[in-house]
Structure 1
Amino acid sequence: MPSVSTNVFVSRPAAEVFDFLADARNLALWSSGVASVEATFVTPGPHAVYHYRFPGRRRPHVLVCADFEPCRRIAFRGERMWSPFGTQVPLYAFDLLPHADGTLVRLSVTSSLSAALVLMAPLVAMAWRRDLPADGRKFCDVLGGVLTPAAPLHGPLAAPPAAAAQGAAGEAAGAPGGPAVPAGTAMRTSAAPHGFDYAH
């Protein structure tokens, strides 16, 4: 079961970032694992169901919200996809850590494989290690943010190192030595989405 993750820092409140991620239609704007999502609006929440196309597949598949913790975590699990070598179930997960001036987001992809595809797990992981950083850059382009060093998938979501964050903030401002990303603050929750709809 290969798992790959990368971190990005976005200069937006966690509530805004969560609302953007909670609308699965927005995945098609930046994720290489989602070719398109049906345009029909679906109310975000636990077990919300979307119809999407996985790259290279002709027919649409089901994408289900498998985890929904406002301003903390959201995950989408794809439908089991069959091939002559076995099956694959993708899980796209996003963990959020708010800061005073933005949000650190860990983008993760886990592929559950069966049959002969299990033997191809290193290749699947290699492909995601290649594609996920590019996805992170697209995510930053859409929301405005910077890449940070990757963290272990199952480890704690740590704040970006001060030096790296300072350099990234300086680059964003057009001058070196910008302010460092502040230490993490207590996570806050949101009872309802705030209406961000970038794709539609």
Structure 2
Amino acid sequence: MKVIGVNASPKGKDSNTLKLVNAVLEGAKEEGAETEYIDLYTLRIEYCTACGTCYATGECTLLDDFSDIFDRMMNAEGIVLGAPNYIDCVPAPMKALFDRMADAIHCQMLTGKFGCSVCTAGGSGEYEVVGYMNKVLSTLGTNIVGGVGVAIGRDPTALGKAEENARALGKSLARSIRGELTYPDQDEVHRQKREYFCQLVKYNKDRFAHEYDWYVQMGWMK
């Protein structure tokens, strides 16, 4: 059971968001998970050029750290996303990561995984960002366990309570991976989403050759 934390804060070891991500990972570790951490600000992620090569071949023409990050996410059963609030959204490296996952969305590559998100803010908007990151995970096929957001500017002591909540979230994440917590409503949403993308890929079979092969391989092509 492996859980990976992906953080998009420019503050390195001084990041308050890092404290929340680490708390989730600690909670998961207490439940027996192996954990891994990725700091997006130490890596290079180029902007998607919308060339469509990934749809056809499964490969990206851009040579940077994206493929390694995505492979590490694919090798985990649980994914934790962390970001500070940048105008009710995520910082650029996290958005660049998301934009490079169009092929993974079409193929629903994170199906069967579980995820959650954490966010720190100055004054407000923390839960808008948590909701956005969780929506991205869901769009990729992930079942969402929950999220933690905290506005430190209003109450600096709130971070401590948020870390406690994040640790509990990590425990829930591990329990979900073990099958102790189930999400039938989300499972049905994902089933319908796979059917939608299956038809999209089937209709564009000539242009989306890699994705068509993926659906056949997964046994999802109808």
Structure 1 and Structure 2 fold alike (TM over 0.5): no
Q: Which structure has the higher relative contact order (CA within 8 Å, separation 6+)? A: 1
